[in-house]
Amino acid sequence: MRRNTGVKWSLLAWMPVLLLVGCGGVGSTVFIHPDYDFGYVERVAVIPFENLTSDRGAGAQISRYFLSELLATKAFEVVEPGEVHRVMQEMKLVRGMELTKEQIVQMGEELKAQGLFLGSVAASASSRNGGTTVTTVTLVTRLVETQAGTTIWSATTSADNRGFWSSLFGTPQASPAEVAQKCVKKSVSTLVK
């Protein structure tokens, strides 16, 4: 009796493609300063991220996720958020993304940090797509060295919870918090491997 192995091999050949499609959308655009020695940056501070979306609290939530992910890498000594808040109050700073070079240098001196992470949540939304809810998060982050106030790394990262398997089989989708964490993890991984 002859067995039809063509169908079996055909399915196996498509498995890598199906797995990639099932991972959900994650993309990023990255800049790394080609002439900067990152070994100089040992201590960093995360400036509270700005929220450019209608999702209240997204900036604070993403800031906490980013700080946690950064600490998990053990790549830098990270200034405590309370110290960052104190210095920002003393300097009468409200919006981190609009710091001047002089303010960046001054913050670096006050915090004894060689780098500041600045960021904004550019998109954080959920929308209906057929019978599923699609959550999308876009994060814009950069690392600025505090000696001259120069951007040495920047990443724009997006993530969502769309997936082949969830739409095909109705498996549970990632929650908005999980999508945000995935976006943050992808962002940090473009700087620290």
Which pLDDT does position 19 carry in this prediction? Answer: 36
Proportion of the chain above pLDDT 70, given as a percent: 76
Tokens (6 digits) for 125? 């939304």
Quick one: pLDDT band at residue 14, thresholds 50, 70, 90?
very low
Residue with token string 């769309």 = 162
Q: What is the CATH T-level fold of the domain 26-189, as seen in this structure?
A: Rossmann fold (3.40.50)
d(CA 125, CA 51): 12
Predicted structure pTM score: 0.79
Q: Is 187 exposed, middle or buried (0-12, 13-18, 19+ CB in 10 A)?
A: buried
Which pLDDT does position 8 carry in this prediction? Answer: 40
- Stretch among 6-10, 125-129, 141-145 having the lowest mean pLDDT: 6-10
115 backbone dihedrals φ, ψ, rounded to 5°: -150, 145
Which pLDDT does position 106 carry in this prediction? Answer: 96
DSSP per-residue codes, 81-112 = HHHHHHHHHHTT---GGG--HHHHHHHHHHHT
Which pLDDT does position 88 carry in this prediction? Answer: 94
pLDDT digits (tens, 9 = 90+) for 57-107: 889 999 999 999 999 999 999 999 999 999 999 999 887 778 999 999 999
Which pLDDT does position 170 carry in this prediction? Answer: 53
pLDDT over threshold 90, residue 47: yes
pLDDT digits (tens, 9 = 90+) for 21-36: 334 444 689 999 999 9
d(CA 21, CA 18): 5
Contacts of 22 (CB under 8 A, 6+ apart): 163, 164, 165
Which pLDDT does position 55 carry in this prediction? Answer: 83
Which pLDDT does position 126 carry in this prediction? Answer: 66
Which pLDDT does position 97 carry in this prediction? Answer: 75
Which pLDDT does position 173 carry in this prediction? Answer: 73
pLDDT digits (tens, 9 = 90+) for 155-190: 999 988 875 445 545 555 778 788 889 999 999 999
Q: How many CB atoms lie within 10 A of CB 74?
A: 9
Residue ranges per domain, the chain? 26-189
